[in-house]
Amino acid sequence: MILLVQFMGALYGMLAVLFGAFGAHTLKKTLSDDQLKSFETGVKYQMYHAILLVIIGYNFNFITPLETNIAYCFIIGTFLFSFSIYGLSISASKNKKLRILGPITPIGGLFLVAGWGLLLYAYIKDIF
């Protein structure tokens, strides 16, 4: 599990840099300002959670289900949240908005919130 979490963190980080460059140089010409801001939000959240995955990959032993669930929440949440935003932004720029992706973004967000909530719980339970 440790290697999976570290791998996903590195993969998401690398893709965030690539997507950020793609957005700044290529999509800047085809996306509206609002679409580009949405795309950039996806990139930012992806990078934040990539860094977090690498950090927890080095700090968790993944012996408990809690630690494993935290990692899965961040991995799944990042994918659903960021990649649905990418799809929505790009498809909207081509006037073929993929409406099915609209509800996926908040589901991804809920996974991210759950991951942060579980992480908070992991620290609180160790304090008290």
Instruction: Check if the beta carbon of residue 42 is closer than 8 Å to that of residue 88.
Output: no
Q: Domain of 103? A: 2-127
Residue 16 CA, chain-centre distance (Å), reads 9
Q: How many domains does the chain have?
A: 1
Q: What is the amino acid identity at position 100?
A: I
Dihedral angle at the C-alpha atoms of 65, 67, 71, 73, nearest 10 degrees?
60
CATH number of residue 62's parent domain:
1.20.120
- 3-state SS, 58-101, equals HHCCCCCHHHHHHHHHHHHHHHHHHHHHHHHHHHHHCCCCCHHH
Write down the pTM of the prediction: 0.94
DSSP code, position 29: G
Given a cut of 90, is residue 29 above it in pLDDT? no
CA dist list (Å): 118 to 70, 95, 110, 111 = 6, 39, 12, 10
Q: Is the dihedral of CA 7, 13, 16, 18 positive or negative?
A: negative
35-81 pLDDT, tens digit each: 999 999 999 999 999 999 999 999 999 999 999 999 999 999 999 99
Given a cut of 90, is residue 93 above it in pLDDT? no
pLDDT of residue 94: 86
